[in-house]
């Protein structure tokens, strides 16, 4: 027992086994609210609560689990999901594909398809377009839109005709391979960039311009 005036008077003595740097105390609070519990706390303001409905599990409702507890099996009734957008980029082939519901957009690097400043296909373009054609032949319905884009070097008098000619050349390559859809070609020049053509301080951004030089193939499967 501590004597008067000694440090620690009035304090509970902690067993030595619970002191020291090796002692770690974890406190875990578990709150279970049972149906009809009058002490259940109301939901916090501003927090949306989804309605609860019985879930169709293979075990009987209110059956006992391995611990011997009887638990009410319930699940959240959530609204139908919206269309999610998934983008997959192939760094090797310069190809980006974005799927949103039944709409699909495939972006092909113009640097893979064409020589610089030209609208004639490169030798490596054939294999890439045949892969795209197989996908279109199996999945596409209705109209397939082919749109060409350039970077910001030059002006619309050069870029728009070049992007249009490149889109038309892709259509010419795909059309014999996919007969059941209608192809529409368009050229947008430097419009709708997907990356900055210049840096924040106004300097040239070659990697961004490379992403903007592209041909997109848009179609639906629904």
Banded model confidence at residue 85, pLDDT cuts 50, 70, 90: low
Among 218, 217, 190, 219, CA closest to 108 = 217
Using the predicted structure, report yes or no on whether residue 14 has a pLDDT greater than 50.
no
The strand pairing partners of 74, in sequence order, are: 54
pLDDT at 126 over 60: yes
The residues facing 186 across adjacent strands are 147
Query: Residue 156 and residue 163: Cα distance in Å, rounded?
Result: 10
110 falls in which pLDDT band (50, 70, 90)?
very high
Burial (Cβ within 10 Å: 0-12, 13-18, ≥19) of residue 159: buried
Query: SS3 for 169?
Result: helix
> Model confidence at 106, in pLDDT bands (50, 70, 90)?
very high
Q: Looking at residues 93-102, what average pLDDT do you find?
A: 85
Q: Which CATH architecture has domain 85-220?
A: 2-Layer Sandwich (3.30)
Judged on CB neighbours under 10 Å (0-12, 13-18, 19+), 193 is: middle
Domain ranges, ordered by start, for the chain: 85-220
The mean per-residue pLDDT over the stretch 155-170 comes to 97
Half-sphere exposure of 11 (CA within 13 A, CB side): 8
Least confident span in 27-31, 143-147, 155-159, 215-219: 27-31
152 vs 66: CA distance, rounded Å = 67
């Amino acid at each position: 027992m501590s004597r008067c005036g000694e440090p620690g008077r009035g304090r509970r003595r902690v067993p030595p086994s619970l002191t020291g740097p090796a002692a770690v105390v974890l406190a875990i609070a578990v709150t279970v609210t049972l149906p009809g519990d009058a002490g259940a706390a109301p939901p916090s303001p501003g927090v949306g609560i989804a309605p609860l409905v019985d879930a169709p599990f293979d075990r009987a409702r209110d059956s006992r689990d391995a611990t011997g507890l009887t638990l009410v099996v319930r699940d959240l009734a959530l609204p139908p999901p919206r269309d999610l957008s998934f983008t997959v980029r192939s760094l090797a082939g310069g190809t980006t594909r974005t799927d949103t519901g039944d709409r699909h957009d495939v972006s092909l690097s113009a640097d893979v398809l064409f020589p610089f400043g030209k609208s004639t296909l490169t030798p490596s373009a054939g294999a890439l377009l045949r892969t795209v054609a197989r996908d279109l032949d199996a999945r596409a319905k209705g109209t397939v839109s082919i749109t060409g884009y350039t970077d910001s070097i030059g002006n619309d008098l050069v870029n728009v005709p070049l992007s249009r000619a490149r889109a038309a050349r892709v259509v010419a390559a795909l059309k014999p391979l996919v007969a059941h859809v209608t192809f529409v070609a368009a050229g947008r020049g430097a419009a709708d960039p997907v990356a900055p053509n210049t840096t924040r301080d106004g300097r040239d951004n070659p990697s961004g311009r490379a992403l903007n030089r592209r041909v997109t193939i848009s179609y639906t499967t629904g």
